[in-house]
Structure 1
Amino acid sequence: MAGLAQSGSNPDVELLYDINGLAQDAPGWFDRGVEFVGEYGLLLALVLLVVCCWWSTRRHSGISGEEAAGAAAALVWAPLAAGVAVLVNVPIRGFVERPRPFYEHEGLEVLVAGKTDFSFVSDHATIAMALGVGLFVAHRAFGLVGIGLALVEGFCRVYMGVHYPTDVIGGFALGTAVVLLLSPVATALLTPVAKAVERSPRAGWLIRRRPVVEGREALIPGARKEATEAEQRDLAA
């Protein structure tokens, strides 16, 4: 390919052509599917995975309030970390000012039009990996699935011809760094809030499902003991 000849021995550009070249040989319906998945689908799947992890965690009524609050705080941090990572990427993009690959190299199969911003680092890869690693901190099994989806997202961005492989790798590194480096501070700030919500009679269900006591839901800690004392007072009267 002419583009490969112009790329010289740059492994980043060569890998870009190798991966994007698959799009030229694939049927149109497959490319359209990858376009949707890489642009919207995988990010939506990761958000739904966070929701599923929250639902799975809160339905275990046997865990303590402190454990439930810690898990909830970690889950809340995952999307917050993705947002922080994107904000951190704004000055990085402005400093590096790397053009999109289709502006610099000929012969690419570009599946998404209208990309005029800078290329390094990939916002999609940053968000996806931040969500995946954030999930891993909260729940290992869900996190492994999330990281797997993030890796697929990175592949799709190169396949679509809108990012270099190093743009994706940079996004993975940025998302991971933000989650792990700021996790102690975020957990320290979010856990007390989650504990307060867990103790709330109205909003406590957001953190965990309450255990059922003789057909009635224990809305607050110690509800069974208070109910027993009330029944004893009624009998004494």
Structure 2
Amino acid sequence: MDPNTPIDTSGLYRDITGFAQDTPTWLQHLAEVWTEAGLLLFGVLFVAAWWRARRRGSRALAIAVLAPLATAVAYVVSELLKSAVDEERPCRAVAGAAASLVQCPPAGDWSFPSNHSTIAGAAAVALALAWRSLAWLTLPMAVLMAFSRVFVGVHYPHDVAIGLALGAVVAFLAVRGGTRACARIVDSMRSSSTPAVRWFAGPGDRAGQTPHPAEAAAAAHGTAPGAGQGRGRD
């Protein structure tokens, strides 16, 4: 075992990678693809959450916009921790383990924590905050992505477990801490005179929103669409 490894899960690593070698080839290929494709799917869900939130209140859009930003913050925290710990990859450090299904990352590309798992944990929680009904999809996705990193042989189990937890906590705190300030920015964007900015922010929930200044001025002068219509004669 690598002396820099903070927790000894090398035995479990051997068990999982040994099991992986005995699985059908199609399942091995699926795990190899999922370990990267899952990140792309999270990206698609970020866009979907933003698009959905454009027609909702300022707080909803703020959370949707913060979701990918919080995930990026979690990744940076993971990278800083990875550089501080300097844990060797198990595909080089664990004696007697089955060969990894994918090429072992080069020396200096440290193992703890798993960046993929940190990103997955952060994205899963941030998306669940932005779109609650997505939790049933994003949380299992994150767990499967984390497990796939051990399955293909490039991380210890503790790398991915702590990565998931780290990402989830950082994303939760980042979203919760930034929502109020971001919601104020969204309000400003929705009343901006720049069409591209208003398009990005979306129309919002019109029922509970302050109208755009141009619309308010038109209404005040009775020139808004429909103004003065429907009045009976004296």
Note whether the superposition's TM-score is higher than 0.5: yes
After superposition, give the CA deviation of every residue in 1:15-41 in whole Å (9 maximum; x if it has no partner): 222222232112333322211210x21
**2:232 — aligned with what?**
none
Of residues 204, 210, 215, the one that matches 2:198 is 204
Contact 1:125–1:171 (Cα < 8 Å) also in 2: yes
1:51 aligns to 2:51 (yes or no): no
After superposition, give the CA deviation of every residue in 1:133-178 in whole Å (9 maximum; x if it has no partner): 1112222112332122111101110101000110001111111121
**1:82 — aligned with what?**
71
- Deviation (angstroms), 1:109: 3.1
Alpha-carbon distance in structure 2 between the residues aligned to 1:211 and 1:143: 23
Taking the TM superposition and a 5 Å limit, the aligned residue runs for 1:53-202 are: 53-58=49-54, 60=55, 63=56, 68-105=57-94, 106-116=96-106, 117-200=109-192, 202=195
Alpha-carbon distance in structure 2 between the residues aligned to 1:211 and 1:232: 25
- Deviation (angstroms), 1:76: 1.6
**1:215 — aligned with what?**
none
Alpha-carbon distance in structure 1 between the residues aligned to 2:52 and 2:86: 42
Q: Give the secondary-structure state (helix, strand or coil) at the position aligned to 1:48.
A: helix
Q: Give the secondary-structure state (helix, strand or coil) at the position aligned to 2:72.
A: helix
1:41 aligns to 2:34 (yes or no): no
Once the two structures are overlaid, the 10-residue window that deviates more, 179-188 or 224-233, is 224-233
Q: Percent identity?
A: 32
Alpha-carbon distance in structure 1 between the residues aligned to 2:76 and 2:101: 26
**Residue identity in the other structure for 1:89:** S
- Deviation (angstroms), 1:100: 0.5
After superposition, give the CA deviation of every residue in 1:171-230 in whole Å (9 maximum; x if it has no partner): 111111211223333223322221112223623333334689xxxxxx847849729922
**Residue identity in the other structure for 2:169:** A
Alpha-carbon distance in structure 2 between the residues aligned to 1:173 and 1:77: 19
Once the two structures are overlaid, the 10-residue window that deviates more, 155-164 or 84-93, is 84-93
Q: For the structure 1 residues 15 and 228, does the alpha-carbon distance in structure 2 shift closer, same or farther, using more than 3 Å as the test? A: farther
Aligned residue pair count: 212
After superposition, give the CA deviation of every residue in 1:106-148 in whole Å (9 maximum; x if it has no partner): 3323122151211100000001110111112222112332122
Contact 1:133–1:147 (Cα < 8 Å) also in 2: yes
TM-score relative to the length of structure 1? 0.77
TM-score relative to the length of structure 2? 0.78
**Residue identity in the other structure for 2:91:** F
Alpha-carbon distance in structure 2 between the residues aligned to 1:140 and 1:209: 21
Backbone CA RMSD of aligned residues: 3.0
Larger helix share, 1 or 2 = 1
Contact 1:49–1:142 (Cα < 8 Å) also in 2: no
